[in-house]
C-alpha cells in the first residue's frame, strides 16, 4: 500500500461485497457519512473486470441488492453509484442479510469470478435482531473473508462472531459515526492485504538443498510458470534469530548460503518477487554439518626444546589453531598458540622447556568458528649432560675432576660439590672448552659428593654424579740431625705437603717427661736445638699442622749431644754467620742467623731504614737464640739489619743484611652480589694485619659523585642502599691500618631494572568480570597493584594488590559491555616500577542459550535452557500462543534454575516462549524458542471382552495426558443411529441392551477441558443367538417342513412363514426342545420364506431364513368362488372434524408384546379416528398407516387413497407382524420414507404423527423424535 496516496497496488483479482445496514437507527445524516466511508474504500482500489469488483447490498427488515459485482467497470462509475446510494430504513436483521448475500451476491450470475478472492464487509450500527452465527459461518465455509465494522450501538462480541480471525484485523468498533474516518486507513490497508492474499504470485517450486558443509549449503529451485523480476531468499535458524535475506536475479535459480553456523537447522524461504510484491514462500529446511575436530594428532621428533606435530587435513577448513602449554614447568609460563593456513598440517614447536610435559591442543578453524579440541600430551627430552665423570689424583686437600663433553651449544659447565653429610654446596664455573678442574682446600679424610651439569641457553642439563674421599694429611719425612755439639744440634726434614701451615716440634731427654716445644711456620724445615745437656740422648718429634687444623702423624727421631771435653785454650770468638731476613709483613721482618762460635752471651740486632728517614733501633736476644722478629716497622720500607755477637769480653763480630717490609695489605676476594633495584651487597675477605676499619667507595661506573661508607675492621660486608636502578656501579674497598690506608681493590656491580610487567593479556571476559595475566617484572617484586577504570563514564578508578608471585588476577563487579583501562604496576621494597597498560571490554549481559522445549502434553510444556553468564538473579519466562488472540503470560524462576514447566496451556497450540536473564541491575539478554502442545490425545489399545448376547465389556489403556473422563459411542455396523455413554475416569465399561449376533462399531473418546479427542475405534460382536443348518424337506403343493440344529440357550423358537408375494403368512412358536416343524395350508406353486428366531426368557435372536417353493397342485374340479364379505360400514363424520385439512400418519407398535388381539384393537382405534373426518383426499385429510417391530412397514402412503371408504377398507386388511420394539428406527423410517413429498406430503398443511406403542423402545428414540419435531 502506498500510504501517501492510499493506493492498493496489486495484480490480484478480488470480489468485495459491501453489506450496509440501512435501518432507521442510522438516520439520513449518518448514512451520508457511511457513503463517504465507502467512497474512501473504493478510491483505494483499481476497479475493473480483471481487477477488483465491488458490489453492494443494503438491508434492514429485508435485504436488497443495490448493484452486483460486475455492475460498474470503472472506479468513477462506482463512486457515482456510491454517492447516489439511497437510504432504505427498517429493522436490523443482520443474520438474514448475511444469508442473503451468500445466496444472491456471491454467485457467478451476480458477477462472481471463480479465481477471485471473496471478501465481505459488513457496516452496521446495532445488534442484530436475529441469529448471525450460522450465516456468517456459512459464508466463511464458502471461502468468504468477512470484515465487520460496528458503529455506536453495535455489539462488539457479535462483530467478532461475524468477522474472520484474527479479530484485530477483521473486526472494528467505533463510538460514533464521526470516528469512521479514524479507522478508514486501517480498514483499507487490511482490505488491500486481503485482496493481495498470500498466493497472488506463483512461488518457485522443487527446492533442492545440496552441497551441505558446516558453514554453507546450496539452494536450487525451479522457476514459477509466470515471469518474475527477481527472487528473494530468506533464511534463519529454527532455534530463533533474526531472518537474513538477499535477492537473486531472475536469471538465476541457484545460490549458496554462506557464513552459517555449524550443526544448526535453518529454515529457508524462496519468494517470487514482482515489483514490490512477493509470492508465498517455497519453504525448505536443512541442517549444516557439525565441525569436524582434528583427527590423528601425532607428535614426533621430540627433542629437548622442540617437537614436531602432524595431523590429518580436513576439507573446507580455513585454518588450524594449535595451542601448547607446559604442565609442570619450573618457571612461570603462559599458553602459546600457533595459527596456520588450511594447506599446513605439520608444524615444529621450538623454544620449549626441556624435560617438561606439554599439553598440545589442536582446533580446526572454519572462518570465525572453532571446532571441538583434540588434545594430547608429550614430554620434552632433558638437556643432554656431560658423561663419563671421573675423580682422579685425590690428595688430602684436593682432587682432580674429569668428564666427557656434553653435546650441543654448551655455554659453560657448573661443578657443585659438598661434604656428604652437610648442606652447604660450593659451586665452580668452568669454561665450556674445558672438561676438567681441580678442587682444592678440601678437608682431609672426608667424603665429597660431586655433580657436573652443562649449562645451555635453555637451562641446565641433568647432573652427572660422582663421589670420593680425600686422603689423610701427610706427615713430614726424612728427619736429619746435623751440627751436633755438646749442647746443640740441627734438625732438618722434608715437607710432607706444600700447604702445611705450621710445624709443632717437641724435644726432651730420652725417657723423661719434661719436654720443650716450639712452633715454626709451614715454610720452614729446619731447627737448631740449643741449651742441651752434654752427652744426653734426646727424643725429637715433628708434627705438620694444616690450614683445616688437622695434624699429621708425628715424624720421630733421636740424637745424643757430644760429651764435654776440657779445653785449655782460649775460647774462640766470631761473628754470626749466614744472616737471613724473611717472612716480611707490612710491619715486621724475621731475622735469622747461624750462631757465632764460643760462649756468646747475647746478640745485638740493629735496624734502620736504608733511606735514613727513621732512627736507628736495636734489640737484644740471648746467646742461645739465633732468630728474632723485628716488629713495628714501616710498611713497604727497605731496612738495613746488623746482627753482632757479644761475648763476656766484648763483641765477637757482626754481620749485616737487608730486608723490606711489604706494603700495607688489601682485602681479598671482593664480591658484589644479590643486586636489587636500589641495593648492592658487598663482601670481601679480611686484609692481613689488624685493620681498624674499612672504607667502601662507590659511584656510577659511567661517572658521577663517588660516595663512601665505613665499617669496623672486624666486619667484612656492607649493603649499599638508595642506589639508582639499572645502573652499573664501581665499588672499591680500602683497609685502614694505624699506619695508614691499605691497598685499593675494586669490583663492579649493576642494580636491577625497576621494570614493568610484560605481555599483559586480558582474557575470559564476562558481563561482570575479566581476567588479567602478565609476565613478571624483573627483580624482587614484592607486590603488584592493578589499577582499573572505565575508559569513559563517571566511575572512579579502582585497584587491587596481589603478592609478588602472582601472575593472574580476576577483576570482578565490573559494568557490563564497558571498555576498561588496566594498569599493572610492580611494587618493590624501595618503590614502584613503571605501569604496564592494557585494555579489555566486558561482555554485554548475556542471555540464556540453547532453549529447549520438551515433554509436551495437552496442557503443558517443559522448557530448559543453558545458563546465561554472570550472577543471574532470576529468569523471566514469557509465553503466548502464536495463533488466535495471543496474550502474553509470564512466570519466573530463581537464577540457579534453568528449567520450568508452563501450564495450563491450550491443547494443540503453538507457543512462543521467551526466556529473559534478569540481573541485579536489570534485564540481560533473552532467547526465544517455540513449542507446541500436543493435541487431545485419545485413549490407547482398546480390548473387547466378556461378550454375551446383549452385552460386552469395552476396556482401554488410558490417554497419556490427564483427562476429565471418557465417552463411549457405539452403534451396529451400517447403522446411522449411534448411542453414547459418558463413563468418567474408568478405563473399562460394559455395554448393555445390545442386539444378539450383532457387530458394533465402538468409539472411545477422551474428554478434556478444551474438548474431545479423536476416537479410539474398534468393533465388538455379541454372541450369536440364532439357529444353524436350517434346511427344508417334504415339500408338497400345500406343505413343506423345515429343520435346524438346536441352540444351547433356546427356550423356544418363533417360526414365520411369509409368501414371496407379500400376502398374509403364518407364525407359530414351538418349544426349545424341538428342531423341526411342518407348515400346512400353503398355496401351490408359491415361493415362501421360512424364518426361525431363537427365543430365551428375555431375548429373541436375529432371524435365519430359507426359501422354498411349493409344487403345483394336481388339477381338480373347480368349485364356486366364496361369497365376498360385505363392505365395511362407513362411520359418519363428526361435526368438529368437518373441513379439517392435514397429513396424518399413524405409527403402530406391532411387536410380540402386543399380540394379534390387541393389534386388532389398535387398528379399530385408527379405523374410528379416520372415520371421524368427512373428506379423505388431497383436498381434506390424507392418512398413512405404518406398523413396526424390528422393521417398519408402510401399509399405505398419504396419497394412496382419495376416498374414505377405500382407506377404511385398507385398514381392515392390515395383518399383525410381530417382532422387537425398535421405535427409534421406526421414527427414522417415518422421516425418511413417509413424511416426504414423494409419499404425498403436501405443502402448507399441518403434519401430524400419531405413535401407538405398548412398551419401552429397545433403541434410542429422542434423537429421531427431535429431528421430526424440528422439521415441523
Comparing 370 with 65, the larger pLDDT belongs to 65
Q: Which CATH superfamily is domain 580-660 in?
A: Immunoglobulins (2.60.40.10)
* pLDDT at position 959 over 90: no
pTM score: 0.31
Cα distances (Å, whole numbers) of residue 536 to 224, 484, 558, 824, 1179:
146, 11, 10, 90, 197
What percentage of the chain exceeds 90 in pLDDT? 33
- 10 Å CB burial of residue 119 (0-12, 13-18, 19+) is buried
Q: How far is CA 944 from the centre of its chain?
A: 49
What pLDDT digit, counting tens, does each position of 72-126 carry? 999 999 999 999 888 776 667 888 899 999 999 999 999 999 888 899 999 998 8
- Residue 369 reports pLDDT greater than 90: no
CB 765, CB 840: distance < 8 Å: yes
CB distance 429 to 412 below 8 Å:
yes
Domain range summary for the chain, segments of one domain joined by +: 14-196, 205-288, 295-380, 387-469, 477-561, 580-660, 668-750, 758-841, 849-932, 1028-1110, 1135-1270
Q: What superfamily in CATH does domain 758-841 come from?
A: Immunoglobulins (2.60.40.10)
pLDDT in tens, 554-570: 888 888 899 887 655 56
Task: For residue 1137, give Cα distances in angstroms to 102, 517, 1058, 1147, 1197.
Answer: 45, 182, 39, 21, 21
CATH-assigned architecture of domain 14-196: 3-Layer(aba) Sandwich (3.40)
Pairing mode of beta strands 144-151, 171-174: parallel
pLDDT at 54: 95
User: What is the distance between the alpha carbons of residues 952 and 946, in angstroms, rounded to a whole number?
Assistant: 5
pLDDT at res. 100: 92
- Beta-ladder partners of 732: 697, 746
Integer Cα distance of 909 and 860 in angstroms: 10
The tens digit of pLDDT for each residue in 1113-1143 reads 775 544 444 443 444 578 888 888 888 889 9
Beta strands in 341-463 (DSSP E): 346-349, 357-366, 369-370, 374-379, 387-392, 399-404, 412-419, 426-431, 436-439, 447-456, 459-460
- Looking at the domain that runs over 387-469, which CATH code has it been given? 2.60.40.10
Residue 510 has pLDDT above 50, yes or no: yes
pLDDT reading at 921 higher than 80: no
Per-residue pLDDT tens over the stretch 615-647: 889 998 888 889 999 988 888 899 999 999 998
- Cβ-contact 808, 772 below 8 angstroms: yes
* CATH of span 295-380: 2.60.40.10
Amino acid 844: pLDDT: 81
The pLDDT value recorded for residue 547 is: 85
Pairing of strands 357-366, 899-902: unpaired
The pLDDT tens digits of the residues spanning 324-363 come to: 998 867 677 788 999 999 889 999 998 888 888 889 999 9
Task: List, for residues 693-724, the tens digit of each pLDDT value.
Answer: 999 999 999 988 899 999 888 888 888 988 88
Q: Do domains 387-469 and 758-841 have the same CATH topology?
A: yes
Q: CATH number of the domain at 205-288, out of 1.20.58.1690, 2.60.40.10, 3.30.9.10, 2.60.40.1120?
A: 2.60.40.10
CATH class name, domain 849-932 = mainly beta
- pLDDT 10s digits, 258-278: 888 888 899 999 998 887 677
For the segment 927-931, the average pLDDT, to the nearest whole number, is 91
1003 neighbors 968 (Cβ within 8 angstroms): yes
User: What pLDDT is attached to residue 1122?
Assistant: 42
Mean pLDDT score of the chain: 87
Tell me what pLDDT residue 1120 has: 47
Specify the fold of 477-561.
Answer: Immunoglobulin-like (2.60.40)
Distance CA 923, CA 901 (A): 22
Question: What pLDDT, on the 0 to 100 scale, is given for residue 1187?
Answer: 92
Residue 603, pLDDT above cutoff 80: yes
Domain 1028-1110, CATH among 2.30.30.240, 3.40.50.10950, 2.40.128.720, 2.60.40.10: 2.60.40.10
**pLDDT tops 70 at residue 1182:** yes
Does residue 202 register a pLDDT over 90?
Answer: no
Interhelix angle for 75-83 vs 28-44, to 10°?
170
> What confidence score (pLDDT) does residue 60 get?
75
> Is residue 1069 classed as helix, strand or coil in its secondary structure?
strand
Q: Which residue has the higher pLDDT, 258 or 768?
A: 258
Distance (Å, whole) CA 862 – CA 901: 4
Calculate mean pLDDT across residues 876-891.
87
Q: 1204-1212 vs 1155-1171: helix axis angle to the nearest 10?
A: 170
**Who contacts 363 (Cβ-Cβ below 8 Å, separation ≥6)?**
293, 294, 320, 321, 322, 323, 370, 371, 372, 373, 374
For the CA atoms of the chain, what is the radius of gyration? Answer: 66
The Cα-based distances of 1122 to 196, 794, 1213, 1228 in angstroms read 86, 131, 17, 42
Beta-sheet strand order (sheet of 988-991):
940-945, 952-957, 988-991
**CATH superfamily of the 1135-1270 domain:** von Willebrand factor, type A domain (3.40.50.410)
Amino acid at each position: 500500500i502506498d500510504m501517501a496516496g492510499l493506493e492498493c497496488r496489486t495484480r490480484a483479482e478480488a470480489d468485495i461485497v459491501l453489506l450496509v445496514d440501512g435501518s432507521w437507527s442510522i438516520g439520513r445524516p449518518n448514512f451520508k457519512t457511511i457513503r463517504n466511508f465507502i467512497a474512501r474504500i473504493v478510491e483505494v482500489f483499481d476497479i475493473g473486470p480483471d481487477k477488483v469488483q465491488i458490489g453492494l447490498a443494503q438491508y434492514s427488515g429485508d435485504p436488497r441488492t443495490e448493484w452486483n459485482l460486475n455492475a460498474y467497470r470503472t472506479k468513477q462509475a462506482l463512486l457515482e453509484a456510491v454517492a447516489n446510494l439511497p437510504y432504505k430504513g427498517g429493522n436490523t436483521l443482520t443474520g438474514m442479510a448475511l444469508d442473503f448475500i451468500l445466496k444472491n451476491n456471491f454467485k457467478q450470475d451476480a458477477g462472481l469470478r471463480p479465481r477471485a478472492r471473496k471478501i465481505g464487509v459488513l457496516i452496521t450500527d446495532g445488534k442484530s435482531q436475529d441469529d448471525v452465527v450460522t450465516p456468517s459461518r456459512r459464508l466463511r465455509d464458502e471461502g468468504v473473508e468477512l470484515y465487520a465494522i460496528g458503529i455506536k450501538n453495535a455489539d462488539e462480541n457479535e462483530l467478532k462472531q461475524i468477522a474472520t480471525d484474527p479479530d484485530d484485523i477483521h473486526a472494528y468498533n467505533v463510538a460514533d459515526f464521526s470516528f469512521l474516518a479514524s479507522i478508514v486507513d486501517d480498514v483499507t490497508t487490511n482490505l488491500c492485504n486481503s485482496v493481495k492474499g498470500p498466493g497472488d504470485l506463483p512461488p518457485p517450486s522443487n527446492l533442492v538443498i545440496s552441497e551441505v558443509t558446516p558453514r554453507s549449503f546450496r539452494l536450487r529451485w525451479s522457476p514459477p510458470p509466470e515471469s518474475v523480476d527477481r527472487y528473494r531468499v530468506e533464511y534463519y535458524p529454527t532455534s530463533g534469530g533474526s531472518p537474513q535475506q538477499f535477492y537473486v536475479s531472475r536469471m538465476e535459480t541457484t545460490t549458496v548460503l554462506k557464513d552459517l553456523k555449524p550443526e544448526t537447522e535453518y529454515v529457508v524461504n524462496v519468494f517470487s518477487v514482482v515489483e514490490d510484491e512477493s509470492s508465498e514462500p517455497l519453504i525448505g529446511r536443512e541442517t549444516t554439518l557439525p565441525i569436524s575436530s582434528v583427527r590423528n594428532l601425532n607428535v614426533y621428533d621430540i627433542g629437548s626444546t622442540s617437537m614436531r606435530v602432524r595431523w590429518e587435513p580436513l576439507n573446507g577448513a580455513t585454518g588450524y589453531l594449535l595451542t601448547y602449554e607446559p604442565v609442570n614447568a619450573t618457571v612461570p609460563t603462559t599458553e602459546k598458540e600457533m595459527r596456520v593456513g588450511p594447506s599446513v598440517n605439520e608444524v615444529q614447536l621450538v623454544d620449549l622447556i626441556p624435560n617438561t610435559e606439554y599439553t598440545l591442543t589442536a582446533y580446526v578453524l572454519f572462518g570465525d568458528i572453532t571446532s571441538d579440541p583434540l588434545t594430547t600430551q608429550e614430554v620434552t627430552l632433558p638437556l643432554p649432560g656431560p658423561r663419563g665423570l671421573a675423580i682422579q689424583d685425590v690428595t688430602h686437600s684436593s682432587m682432580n675432576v674429569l668428564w666427557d663433553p656434553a653435546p650441543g651449544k654448551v655455554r659453560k659447565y657448573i661443578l657443585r660439590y659438598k661434604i656428604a653429610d652437610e648442606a652447604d654446596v660450593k659451586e665452580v664455573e668452568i669454561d665450556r672448552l674445558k672438561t676438567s678442574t681441580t678442587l682444592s682446600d678440601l678437608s682431609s679424610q672426608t667424603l665429597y659428593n660431586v655433580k657436573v651439569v652443562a649449562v645451555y641457553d635453555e637451562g641446565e642439563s641433568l647432573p652427572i654424579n660422582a663421589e670420593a674421599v680425600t686422603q689423610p694429611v701427610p706427615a713430614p719425612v726424612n728427619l736429619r740431625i746435623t751440627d751436633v755439639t755438646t749442647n746443640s744440634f740441627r734438625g732438618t726434614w722434608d715437607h710432607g705437603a706444600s700447604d702445611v701451615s705450621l710445624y709443632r716440634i717437641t724435644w726432651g731427654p730420652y725417657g723423661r717427661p719434661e719436654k720443650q716445644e716450639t712452633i715454626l711456620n709451614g715454610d720452614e724445615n729446619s731447627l737448631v736445638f740449643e741449651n742441651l745437656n752434654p752427652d744426653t740422648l734426646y727424643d725429637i718429634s715433628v708434627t705438620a699442622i694444616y690450614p683445616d687444623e688437622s695434624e699429621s702423624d708425628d715424624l720421630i727421631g733421636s740424637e745424643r749431644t757430644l760429651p764435654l771435653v776440657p779445653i785449655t785454650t782460649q775460647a774462640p770468638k766470631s761473628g754470626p754467620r749466614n744472616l737471613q731476613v724473611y717472612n716480611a709483613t707490612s710491619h715486621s721482618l724475621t731475622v735469622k742467623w747461624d750462631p757465632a762460635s764460643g760462649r756468646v752471651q747475647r746478640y745485638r740486632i740493629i735496624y734502620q731504614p736504608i733511606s735514613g728517614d727513621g732512627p736507628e733501633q736495636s734489640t737484644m736476644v740471648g746467646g742461645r737464640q739465633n732468630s728474632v722478629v723485628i716488629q713495628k716497622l714501616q710498611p713497604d720500607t727497605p731496612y738495613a739489619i746488623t746482627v753482632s755477637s757479644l761475648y763476656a769480653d766484648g763483641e765477637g763480630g757482626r754481620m749485616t743484611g737487608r730486608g723490606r717490609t711489604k706494603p700495607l695489605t688489601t682485602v681479598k676476594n671482593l664480591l658484589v652480589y644479590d643486586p636489587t633495584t636500589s641495593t648492592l651487597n658487598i663482601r670481601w675477605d679480611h686484609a692481613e694485619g689488624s685493620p681498624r676499619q674499612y672504607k667502601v667507595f662507590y659511584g656510577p661506573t659511567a661517572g658521577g659523585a663517588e660516595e663512601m661508607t665505613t665499617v669496623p675492621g672486624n666486619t667484612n660486608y656492607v649493603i649499599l642502599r638508595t642506589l639508582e636502578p639499572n645502573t652499573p656501579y664501581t665499588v672499591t674497598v680500602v683497609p685502614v691500618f694505624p699506619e695508614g690506608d691499605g691497598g685499593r681493590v675494586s669490583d663492579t656491580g649493576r642494580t636491577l631494572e625497576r621494570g614493568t610487567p610484560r605481555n599483559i593479556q586480558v582474557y575470559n571476559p564476562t558481563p561482570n568480570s575479566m581476567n588479567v595475566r602478565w609476565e613478571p617484572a624483573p627483580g624482587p617484586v614484592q607486590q603488584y597493584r592493578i589499577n582499573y577504570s572505565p575508559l569513559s563514564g563517571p566511575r572512579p578508578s579502582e585497584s587491587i594488590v596481589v603478592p609478588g608471585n602472582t601472575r593472574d588476577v580476576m577483576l570482578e563487579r565490573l559494568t557490563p559491555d564497558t571498555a576498561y583501562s588496566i594498569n599493572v604496576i610492580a611494587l618493590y621494597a624501595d618503590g614502584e616500577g613503571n605501569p604496564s597498560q592494557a585494555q579489555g571490554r566486558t561482555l554485554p549481559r548475556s542471555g540464556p542459550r540453547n532453549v529447549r522445549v520438551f515433554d509436551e502434553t495437552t496442557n503443558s510444556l517443559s522448557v530448559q535452557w543453558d545458563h546465561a553468564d554472570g550472577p543471574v538473579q532470576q529468569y523471566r519466562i514469557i509465553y503466548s500462543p502464536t495463533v488466535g488472540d495471543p496474550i502474553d503470560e509470564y512466570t519466573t524462576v530463581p537464577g540457579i534454575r534453568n528449567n520450568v514447566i508452563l501450564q495450563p496451556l491450550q491443547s494443540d497450540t503453538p507457543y512462543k516462549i521467551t526466556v529473559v536473564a534478569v540481573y541485579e541491575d536489570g534485564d540481560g539478554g533473552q532467547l526465544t524458542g517455540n513449542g507446541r502442545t500436543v493435541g487431545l490425545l485419545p485413549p490407547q489399545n482398546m480390548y473387547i471382552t466378556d461378550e454375551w448376547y446383549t452385552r460386552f465389556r469395552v476396556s482401554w489403556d488410558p490417554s497419556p495426558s490427564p483427562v476429565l473422563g471418557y465417552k463411549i459411542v457405539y452403534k451396529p455396523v451400517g447403522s446411522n443411529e449411534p448411542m453414547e455413554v459418558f463413563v468418567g475416569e474408568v478405563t473399562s465399561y460394559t455395554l448393555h441392551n445390545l442386539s444378539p449376533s450383532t457387530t458394533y462399531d465402538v468409539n472411545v473418546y477422551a474428554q478434556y477441558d478444551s474438548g474431545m479427542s479423536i476416537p479410539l475405534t474398534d468393533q465388538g460382536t455379541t454372541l450369536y443367538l440364532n439357529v444353524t443348518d436350517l434346511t427344508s424337506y417334504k415339500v408338497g403343493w400345500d406343505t413343506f417342513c423345515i429343520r435346524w440344529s438346536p441352540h444351547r440357550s433356546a427356550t423356544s423358537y418363533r417360526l414365520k412363514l411369509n409368501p414371496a408375494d407379500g400376502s398374509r403368512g403364518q407364525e407359530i412358536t414351538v418349544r426349545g426342545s424341538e428342531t423341526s416343524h411342518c407348515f400346512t395350508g400353503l398355496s401351490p406353486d408359491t415361493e415362501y420364506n421360512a424364518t426361525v428366531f431363537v427365543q430365551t426368557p428375555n431375548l429373541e435372536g436375529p432371524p435365519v431364513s430359507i426359501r422354498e417353493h411349493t409344487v403345483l397342485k394336481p388339477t381338480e374340479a373347480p368349485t364356486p368362488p366364496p361369497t365376498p364379505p360385505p363392505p365395511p360400514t362407513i362411520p359418519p363424520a363428526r361435526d368438529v372434524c368437518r373441513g379439517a385439512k392435514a397429513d396424518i400418519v399413524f405409527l403402530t407398535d406391532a411387536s410380540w408384546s402386543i399380540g394379534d388381539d390387541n393389534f386388532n384393537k389398535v387398528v379399530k382405534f385408527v379405523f374410528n379416528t379416520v372415520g371421524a373426518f368427512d373428506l379423505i383426499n388431497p383436498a381434506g385429510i390424507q392418512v398413512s398407516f405404518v406398523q413396526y417391530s424390528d422393521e417398519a412397514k408402510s401399509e399405505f402412503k398419504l396419497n394412496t387413497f382419495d376416498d374414505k371408504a377405500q382407506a377404511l377398507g385398507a385398514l381392515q386388511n392390515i395383518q399383525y407382524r410381530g417382532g422387537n420394539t425398535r421405535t427409534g428406527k421406526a421414527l427414522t423410517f417415518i422421516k425418511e420414507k413417509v413424511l416426504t413429498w414423494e409419499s404425498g406430503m403436501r405443502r402448507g398443511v399441518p403434519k401430524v404423527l400419531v405413535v401407538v406403542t405398548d412398551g419401552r423402545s429397545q433403541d434410542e428414540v429422542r434423537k429421531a423424535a427431535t429431528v421430526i419435531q424440528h422439521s415441523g
